[in-house]
Amino acid sequence: MTAKKIMIIDNEEGLCRMMEAVLLDDGHAVRSFTDPLAALEMFRPGIWDLVISDIKMPGIDGLEVLKQIKQVEADIPVIMITAFATVEMSIQALRRGAYDMLTKPFEPDELLFRVRNALSHNELLEENQHLRAELAEKFNFKNIIGASNSLQRLLEKVEKVAVRDTSVLISGESGTGKEVIAQAIHHNSPRRNNRFVAINCGAIADSVLESELFGHKKGSFTGATADREGLLQSADGGTLFLDEIGNLPLNVQKTLLRFLEEREFLRVGDTQPIKVDVRLLSATNSDLADGVEQGSFREDLYYRLNVINLHLPPLRERRADIPLLAAHFIAQQNASFHTKVTGLSPESRQAASDFDWPGNIRQLKNVIEACLTIETEELISLDVIGQFIRIDERGDEGADYGQALANFEIDYLKQLLRDADGNVDEAAQRAGMNMATIYRKLKKYGIKKSDRA
């Protein structure tokens, strides 16, 4: 592996030496600077793979260092170090382009973990250039899985509306693939070379949703220490996808309606309107017409969004597509984890086709992933899939999918830790997962590195 070039900037000479030694032992090429101005003079685009900088330094602080580095090379990952981490400081650093924050004091293992993540991020950016070309093929209508009549009729309609720059409301139950259809519309539209920006309106607190969408002016509220660009502005020239739009609070609905009518909006706390060229796609798993009747959704906004309506049928209404989707997800898992499962057994295929899939395509994908984790044969057996879905012919309720998967993950994580003698890095490698995922799951289930019973 080619040594990665890492620049360290910290006025504490002892800390520089410690980080330098740790990173050199890990195979990197490292140079440290106790003078941030000298470091900035040495920084050139294309030379360094990663910068690690303290925030509190004499002469020039780390946030200014971060700003100047990003002006020279926007994509380079920068890890900021601080002994006085606050939410506001972290937000400032991340908004200015920092990849991660590291709080003093820290252990060498934590430093290595953060550095490896940042370097992996760098590699991902390079891969994204290749992925952009693949997206056009991925979201080709021919590659959306399914042969049922209902899906084919829908795709015919999607293909027609993709080229027409109008608002589209995509409805359907959770997990039916609404965002996939939205991306297909974008990638088959004249806006395909510009950004596709998505936001789940139900996952963000009402108090910050307006700022997320439209941005804000410095000083417009407590904590607004700088001007901020909202998602609508960042999607200029491209497409903004608002998922679960029924969760928009009424004040945000009013601002969104003004944008749709006048193609301009006001940031929070601003008096100067901003014009952008954005196509709006939205999605809901609820009946917005009911929201209009109940007064929770504006009628005028509803008609603005619902110029074209695309309804995605639930998986239980397109049962013929279940084996096709299962085969697709099995192929994905085989490619990712080098497994050799060839498909569903005849009995498990019938069980999958009979099951109602309340979580739709998302649930099917998760079940296939869980099955491939424990299946040892070439075909997924009825016994294996029966651990995650109800098998009607057994006459019982079967295992609750969520709890069954949780129990399996707990046992699997403990076995990984046993096999790796408590070494999380080794456990991640054995599982083919990254360390961040392993740590997140350990925290989720309250498992400690020493908990291997």
Question: Is 340 part of a structural domain of the chain?
Answer: yes
CATH number of the domain where residue 412 is located: 1.10.8.60
Residue with tokens 């950016």: 125
Residues 152, 258: one domain? Answer: yes
In a domain, 451, yes or no: no
Q: What is the pLDDT of residues 364-404, one digit of tens each?
A: 999 999 999 999 899 999 999 999 998 864 334 444 556 66
Comparison of pLDDT for 275 and 207, the residue scoring more: 275
How confident is the model at residue 393, as a pLDDT?
A: 46
Has residue 238 been placed in a domain? yes
Q: Tell whether 427 and 381 lie within a shared domain.
A: yes
For 61, residues 6+ apart whose C-beta sits below 8 A from its C-beta are 55
Query: Could you tell me if residue 229 is inside a domain?
Result: yes
User: What is d(CA 390, CA 354) in angstroms, rounded to the nearest whole number?
Assistant: 10
Average pLDDT over the chain reads 86
CB burial class (10 A; 0-12, 13-18, 19+) of residue 248?
A: buried
In a domain, 452, yes or no: no
In a domain? residue 161: yes
- Domain check: are 149 and 272 in the same one? yes
Let me know the angle formed at the C-alpha of 163 by 160 and 166, rounded to the nearest 5 degrees.
Answer: 95
Least confident range from 40-44, 124-128, 254-258, 358-362: namely: 124-128
Phi and psi of 163, rounded to 5°? -85, -10
User: What phi and psi values does residue 80 have, to the nearest 5 degrees?
Assistant: -100, 140
Q: Is residue 100 predicted with pLDDT exceeding 80?
A: yes
The pLDDT of 226-248, averaged and rounded, is: 91
Q: Where are the beta strands (DSSP E) in 230-340?
A: 239-243, 264-265, 274-275, 279-284, 308-311
SS3 264: strand
Cα separation of the two ends of the chain: 36
Angle between helices 360-374 and 322-337 (to 10 degrees): 50
Say if residue 116 is in the same domain as residue 159. Answer: no
Within-domain flag for 364:
yes
- For β-strands 100-103 and 379-380, DSSP reports them as unpaired
At 214, which CATH number?
3.40.50.300
What's the domain range around 384? 317-445
Q: Based on the domain organization, do 39 and 60 belong to the same domain?
A: yes
pLDDT in tens, 407-441: 777 888 888 888 888 888 888 887 777 777 777 77
Last residue in a domain, options 95, 111, 129 = 129
pLDDT exceeds 70 at position 126: no
Structural domains in the chain (count): 3
142 versus 347: which is more confidently predicted? 347
Which secondary structure element, helix H or strand E, spans residue 410, and what is its range?
helix 401-419
Q: Is 273 found in the same domain as 166?
A: yes
- Which of 113, 119, 105 is CA-nearest to residue 29? 119
Task: For residue 387, tell me if it sits in a domain.
Answer: yes
Query: Which residue blocks in 26-61 are alpha helix, DSSP H?
Result: 36-42
Percent of the chain predicted with pLDDT > 70: 91
